[in-house]
């Protein structure tokens, strides 16, 4: 009997992401403010389908939008650490990253009464220090890397990577990696952005994106008897009306295909029961 799981994850950034990019005009802030409107829509949809999701929330958002994040917690969803600001850890240095991680934990614990078990890096840009910092802080899993698609695995620490020499793989760590991918992230598909780096066109047809996302599950169903597929959504992006309809249709279709919905923390528990010795990319590469 196949056991195929789907984790819905929501990065509740609101204005934190635009502020981190130094975009602080009223117009830029208003894009994040739309999360205030979108969160009740998403919570209602999840409640109607009795789906528990995982929400990664920066400390900045927790303190700036208290009613918004309180509604997520009150609905019973898992809340993970997403830093304090939305600056990528790779840009902070070890001490700065450690401080952001600690501040984010304080904010999540103040909201929920428990330390977060999971972490997602802003921008999915881990630093060489991240895995060790997460382990030191007691985290169980990370969800920022892309080395698998349907099977969680053990995050490595201590890789040596240079331009001209072959890679030297570090050791597998106790930290579980719950993999993600840009193709299953709503932001690059839907958001129109202008910045010094150029233009992100976004604004894709929601129905076509849904077809891709559903086919990803169907491929897993065809070739695997066990797996976890994680979608990454941002309330201020997915919460627009036509995209909410797309999300509703996607959840209905996934349920028909046999998906079992659960939080990332619960999926880690399933992974550990299925693979008590863990899954190693290191061994497969060498």
CA distance 250 to 77: 20
pLDDT at residue 285 above 60?
Answer: no
More confident residue, 192 or 125: 125
Element of type H or E holding 4: strand 3-11
CA nearest 226: which of 260, 253, 256, 250?
A: 260
Count of C-beta atoms within a 10 Å radius of residue 218: 12
State the SS3 of 142-195: ECCCCCCCCCCEEEEECCECCCCCCCECCEEEEEEECCCCHHHEHHHHHCCEEE
Domains of the chain in sequence order? 3-285 (3.20.20.370)
Average pLDDT rounded to a whole number, residues 61-79: 98
* CB-facing half-sphere around the CA of 255: CA atoms within 13 A: 10
* Residues 217-238 pLDDT 10s: 999 999 999 999 999 999 999 9
Question: What is the spatial distance between Cα 19 and Cα 90, in angstroms, rounded to a whole number?
Answer: 17
Specify whether the CB–CB gap between 82 and 142 falls below 8 A: no
Contact 135/173 with Cβ under 8 angstroms? yes
SS3 state at 81? strand
- Distance between CA atoms of 32 and 41, rounded to whole angstroms? 15
pLDDT of residue 21: 86
Share of the chain above pLDDT 90, in %: 90
Mean pLDDT is lowest, of 31-35, 79-83, 95-99, 227-231, for: 31-35
Chain mean pLDDT for the chain: 95
Q: Is the pTM of this model over 0.75?
A: yes
- pLDDT for 13-69, tens place per residue? 999 999 988 888 999 899 889 999 999 999 999 999 999 999 999 999 999 999 999
DSSP three-state, residue 255: helix
Q: What's the pLDDT score for residue 85? A: 96
Distance of CA 57 to CAs 44, 80, 128, 197, 257, Å? 19, 6, 22, 25, 30
Q: What is the DSSP string of 94-127?
A: HHHHHHHHHHHHHHHHHHHSS--SEE--GGG---
Mean per-residue pLDDT, 237-266: 98
**In the predicted model, is pLDDT for residue 196 greater than 80?**
no
**pLDDT tens per residue, range 115-124:** 999 999 999 9
């Amino acid at each position: 009997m196949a056991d195929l799981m789907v984790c819905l994850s929501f990065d509740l950034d609101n204005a934190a992401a635009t502020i981190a990019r130094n975009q602080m005009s009223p117009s830029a802030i208003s894009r994040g403010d739309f999360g205030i409107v979108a969160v009740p829509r998403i919570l209602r949809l999840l409640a109607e389908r009795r789906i528990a999701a995982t929400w990664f929330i920066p400390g900045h958002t927790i303190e700036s939008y208290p009613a918004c994040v309180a509604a997520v917690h009150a609905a019973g969803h898992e809340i993970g650490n997403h830093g304090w600001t939305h600056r990528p850890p790779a840009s902070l240095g070890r001490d700065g990253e450690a401080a952001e991680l600690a501040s984010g934990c304080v904010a999540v614990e103040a909201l929920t009464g428990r330390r977060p078990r999971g972490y997602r890096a802003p921008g999915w840009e881990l630093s060489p220090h991240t895995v060790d910092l997460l382990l030191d802080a007691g985290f169980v899993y990370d969800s920022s890397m892309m080395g698998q698609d349907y099977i969680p695995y053990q995050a490595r620490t201590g890789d040596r990577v240079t331009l001209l020499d072959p890679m030297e793989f570090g050791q597998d760590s106790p930290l579980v990696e719950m993999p993600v991918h840009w193709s299953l992230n709503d932001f690059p598909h839907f958001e129109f952005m202008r910045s010094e780096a150029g233009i992100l066109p976004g604004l894709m047809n929601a129905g076509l994106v849904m077809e891709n996302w559903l086919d990803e599950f169907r491929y897993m169903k065809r070739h695997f008897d066990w797996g976890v597929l994680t979608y990454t959504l941002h309330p201020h992006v997915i919460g627009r009306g036509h995209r909410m309809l797309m999300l509703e249709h996607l959840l209905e279709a996934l349920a028909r295909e046999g998906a079992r919905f659960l939080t990332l923390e619960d999926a880690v528990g399933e992974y550990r029961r299925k693979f008590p010795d863990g899954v190693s990319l290191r061994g497969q590469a060498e």
